[in-house]
Amino acid sequence: MEHFIAPSRQIAFLLFPFLFFSMAEAVPSIDAVSGKIQHGSDVTVSGSGFSVHADYSTDNTYILNVAWNDFENGELEAGCFIWLLAEAFRPNWSIRSDNAKMNSNYYAEKNYNRELKEIYPTEDTRTGAYGVVPVGNCNRIYETFWFKMRDNNQSGKFLRIYGDGAGGSGDTYIYLSSGGGDTYLRGRGCINGICAPEQLTSPKAFGYETWHRVELFINISSGSVTTYIDGELQWTKNSGWVDSTFTTDNSNWDFGHMVDDPAPTYNPGGGYSYDDVFFNNTFARVEIGDRVSFDACTHREVQIPSAWNDNSITFKANQGSFQPGPAYLFVVDENGASGPGFPIMIISANGDTQPPCSPAGFNVR
């Protein structure tokens, strides 16, 4: 049977593909920004195509993302991050101020504590981590933080994302690691105790005593895992690390999971350092960058959302390591798409982006 298209519909068919293409390629568009781009200030951006961002915060009414901690209040447990794993190993952690990144006063560091091994000779004293236990299942995980290692650092796993839920065996996870002779970003995934035979390694090295921004994207639906360092793609794994059994509900996501006992050839004071740790259940986010094109940015800083709909977003400004001056604002939708940057001016300030949280003890070195 032949299909006939009436002349009027033929015209529409010729015109509408361009409309359909435009709709398919739609990206967030910013029309206006109200409020000062000043660290710690509330800012509202209006426009279209911002998509959705549910409230994923575990116990905090001031943020929409799962968790955020810039450590500027001197607390390791803040912004919905809690202590995970063995309670006895808290001394592996400290709040530090030496060699902090630009505009930061404090950051968190995880070390291997030899004294703990003497106290607990049969325990795995490499562990002890901070993180979150998200509620509900999602299809995407986005985590970003600033990271550095001490000189001649030993190996370890500086991030681990479990995917087997409450009461799980702990055999389904993805980890990121580095150190132990090189400073490349390595990663591997395990499903139900079966680990992928290959470990991926980044082309870019962290180096020592240098801050870098790490980004991890996990798309559970497609099975892909992708990492970036300083906005540069490092590697993507499209299958074998995540499958349909991977669950986010009541699964531990932690940073600083494990630092190995340093061999004699490595720095006994080695450790992993973290700042501006941001966890989320979606790729949707707001960022400040140094170029009008998101992909061309060589420096970006994530912002802290507090309200979000398709036409308006309110966030708390995070200056990060930007100096005062011109920059660009981006809205990234749930699919990871962003439009051109909106020109802004960063104003110097000494604000605080950390949402209120129950106080916890800390040790400043």
Domain assignments of the chain as residue spans, ordered by start: 29-52+284-346, 67-280
Across the strands, what pairs with 253?
Answer: 132, 161
Residue pLDDT, tens place only, 11-37:
343 444 444 434 446 899 999 999 999
- At residue 118 the predicted structure's pLDDT band, cuts being 50, 70 and 90, is confident
**Statement: residue 337 has pLDDT above 50:** yes
Residue pLDDT, tens place only, 103-112:
999 999 998 8
Residue pLDDT, tens place only, 272-306:
999 999 999 999 999 999 999 999 999 999 999 99
In one letter, which amino acid is 195?
C
Task: Give pTM, 2 decimals.
Answer: 0.87
pLDDT for the residue 79: 85
Check: CB of residue 191 under 8 Å from CB of residue 245: yes
| CB-count burial class (<10 Å; 0-12, 13-18, 19+) for 196 | middle
Higher model confidence: residue 114 or residue 200? 200
Residue with tokens 């991050």: 81
Q: How far apart are CA 92 and CA 74, in angstroms?
A: 16
pLDDT for the residue 3: 36
Q: CATH code for 29-52+284-346? A: 2.60.40.10
pLDDT for the residue 20: 40
Q: How far apart are CA 34 and CA 358, in angstroms?
A: 31
Q: How far apart are CA 151 and CA 210, in angstroms?
A: 10
pLDDT for the residue 60: 64
pLDDT for the residue 229: 98
Q: What backbone phi and psi angles, to 5 degrees, belong to 364? A: -100, 125
Distances (CA, A) of 95 to 260, 272, 355: 20, 12, 18
CATH of 67-280, one of 2.60.120.200, 3.20.20.150, 3.40.50.1820, 3.30.1020.10: 2.60.120.200
Give the DSSP letter string of 269-300: T-EEEEEEEEEESSS-EEEEESSSSGGG-S-E
Distances (CA, A) of 182 to 147, 152, 177, 179: 15, 8, 11, 5
**Statement: residue 359 has pLDDT above 70:** no
Q: How far apart are CA 340 and CA 331, in angstroms?
A: 9
